[in-house]
Amino acid sequence: MQFPKGFYWGGATAANQFEGAWNVDGRGASVDDHFTGGSYEKPREITIDIKPDVLYPNHDGIDFYHHYEEDIALFAEMGFNMFRMSISWSRIFPNGDDAQPNEAGLAFYDRVFDCCAKHGIEPLVTLSHYEMPYHLVEKYNGWASRELIGFFENYCATVFERYKDKVKFWLTFNEINCGTMDMGAMMETGLIQGFEGPASAIKTTPQQRYQALHHQFVAHGRVVKLAHEKYPQFKMGNMDCFILSYPGTCDPADVLANELEMNRMNWYCSDVQVRGAYPFYAKRFWAENDIELEMAPGDLEDIAAGKVDFYTFSYYMSGTVSTHADHEMTEGNMTFGGKNPYLESTDWGWQIDPMGLRIALNQIYARYQIPLMVVENGMGAYDEVEEDGSIHDPYRIAYLKSHIKAMGEAIADGVDLIAYTWWGPIDLVSAGTGEMRKRYGFIHVDKYDDGTGTYERRRKDSFFAYQKIIKSNGAEG
């Protein structure tokens, strides 16, 4: 398959899942620090007091904070020319509403970006990846409060000015559309004030969730406007979790139900962020879900100013939607929708669907006609380290190659796809379960769920497979 010249190949990470150093150099606690580790079987818990040693042995992530030079060198060895990472908001503003930023936090990302530049790697930076300073939860109940808009603007203005010569590509909120679900209410929007207990027990109303999202849209709009006015070299993007779904049968009722689900899950947020306005179907959706958004004068103008320059998304799996009572549902950790008898699943129940990526790319491009980036795609799996230290992961290589082939097809279809960053090029902590043993990396990290491990990095077989693919610009996929 022919990928365009200058195509960006890389990997994607998030601060809270791999940096560690959570209480170092003036960093404040983030939402994520108040989650315990968990597993497929046992959901994560939310605690008001931080209990890192007892319940969350993965609090230190993979200690990227102290290993970044080694890790970025390994990315460069694979041939990366793009590295997606997030800035930890509470490293910069420990409480979120502080008057002054934390210089030590700012200096850390200077070092990381300089290291990327040394290796010819373009950073792609997420401003908020499933976290915010916990103080904003305690005091304001996260994005429930309009006040968050100003705090987020201030944080973004600070990092834009600081890194204006080092970073060109920015994403505002990771998987913003997950805020439409209870799961997102914990990580994405921080609607967990005063809550303690299993994360799966969090319950919010559509009114609360969509109001919080409205505040995020306004914040996004203001930040994109600032970037476009003050830093013309910046390119601003959205980030959505794209869950392609198919009608469970050809019953028109299933086709319609799937259309509505696609609108709710996949299009609602990106329609706002790409087109700068709430979509035509929003009014009926709000009415049917008892949502009455409180808007302030100027909100819709701010949203209109938030049109992104490129569209980005994560893609892991697909699902099915049916109105039939006997339709079988998927079982697993954070799976979506019904089973598809034509697809296999990962050990965590995620239905593997490379052709779905080609379909998704075509659907998205047909709708928006702006450059696209696949900024997360990957396979969580159990890996075994052999006695000689090698790690054979043919399942991951197969997943990688099949999705690259699908992207090549989409490009041949005419889709303007410009980047691919594999999720977790180095093993890191799972966002959904808080565990280490769900590994995505091409690079193995000697770190285990009981808190043991040397943090040593090792190249898996997939490391060399991806290296080859990048070297041939996708031809050897």
176 counts as binding ligand BGP under rule CB under 6 A = no
Work out the angle at residue 177's Cα, subtended by the Cα atoms of residues 150 and 194, and round it to the nearest 5 degrees. 60
Whole-number Å distance between alpha carbons of 104 and 226: 25
Nearer to ligand BGP, 314 or 330 (CB): 314
Say whether residue 271 binds ligand BGP (CB under 6 A): no
376 an active-site residue?
yes
Which segment (28-36, 37-45, 404-412, 432-440) binds ligand BGP by CB under 6 A?
Answer: 432-440
Is 432 a residue that touches ligand BGP (CB under 6 A)? yes
Catalytic residue among 19, 131, 261, 376: 376
φ/ψ of 142, rounded to 5, equals 55, -140
CB 246 within 8 A of CB 322: no
What is the 3 state secondary structure string of 76-137? Answer: HHHCCCEEEEECCHHHHCCCCCCCCCCHHHHHHHHHHHHHHHHCCCEEEEEEECCCCEHHHH
Nearest-approach distance from CB 84 to ligand BGP, in angstroms: 10
- List the x/- string, 276-315, binding to ligand BGP by CB under 6 A: --------------------------------------x-
Query: Which parts of 241-260 interact with ligand BGP (CB under 6 A)?
Result: 241
Q: Which segments of 181-335 are extended strands (E)?
A: 197-198, 235-237, 240-241, 244-247, 311-314, 318-321
Which listed residue (338, 380, 408, 425) binds ligand BGP by CB under 6 A? 380
Nearer to ligand BGP, 101 or 337 (CB): 337
For the CB of residue 374, give the shortest distance to ligand BGP in the complex, in Å.
Answer: 13
- Report in angstroms how near the CB of residue 440 gets to ligand BGP at its nearest: 7
Question: From edge to edge, which strands make up the β-sheet containing 82-86?
Answer: 235-237, 169-173, 122-128, 82-86, 8-12, 417-423, 372-376, 311-314, 240-241
Q: How far is CA 178 from CA 75, 123, 141, 264, 433, in A?
A: 29, 24, 17, 11, 16
State yes or no: residue 430 binds ligand BGP (CB under 6 A). yes
Q: Residue of minimal CB distance from ligand BGP?
A: 432
Identify the helix (H) or strand (E) that includes residue 458: strand 457-459
Give least dist CB 15 to ligand BGP, A: 10
Max distance between CA atoms of the chain, in angstroms, equals: 65
Q: Which span (36-44, 70-78, 113-121, 424-432) binds ligand BGP, by CB under 6 A? A: 424-432
CA atoms of 453 and 446, how far apart (whole Å)? 5
> In angstroms, what is the minimal distance from the CB of 120 to ligand BGP?
26
Contact status: 175 vs ligand BGP (CB under 6 A) = yes
Binding test (CB under 6 A) with ligand BGP, winner from 45, 240, 353, 376:
376
| Contacts to ligand BGP from residues 309-338, by CB under 6 A | 314
Does 379 sit near ligand BGP (CB under 6 A)?
no
| Residue closer to ligand BGP (CB basis): 3 or 130 | 130
Q: How far is CA 477 from CA 2, 420, 470, in A?
A: 10, 13, 9
Please tell me whether residue 189 binds ligand BGP under the rule CB under 6 A: no
Our finding on whether 96 is near ligand BGP (CB under 6 A) is: no
Least distance between ligand BGP and beta carbon 316 (Å): 7
Q: Is 132 in the site for ligand BGP (CB under 6 A)?
A: no
User: Which residue of the set 175, 188, 261, 435 is catalytic?
Assistant: 175
Angle at 218 between CA 213 and CA 224, to 5 degrees: 120
Pairing assessment for the beta strands 244-247 and 122-128 based on DSSP bridges: unpaired
Site size for ligand BGP, by CB under 6 A? 15
Q: Which string of b and e fits 343-353 if b means at least 16 CB within 10 Å?
A: bebbebebbbb
Candidate residues 406, 431, 436, 465; the one interacting with ligand BGP per rule CB under 6 A? 431
Which residues are registered as beta bridge partners of 12? 84, 423
Does residue 174 touch ligand BGP according to CB under 6 A?
A: yes
Token pair 């959904």 is found at 432
Distances (CA, A) of 336 to 35, 261, 333: 22, 11, 9
What does the DSSP 8-state code read for residue 306? T
Q: Residue numbers of the site for ligand BGP (CB under 6 A)?
A: 14, 17, 130, 174-175, 241, 314, 376, 380, 423, 430-433, 438
Catalytic residues: 175, 376
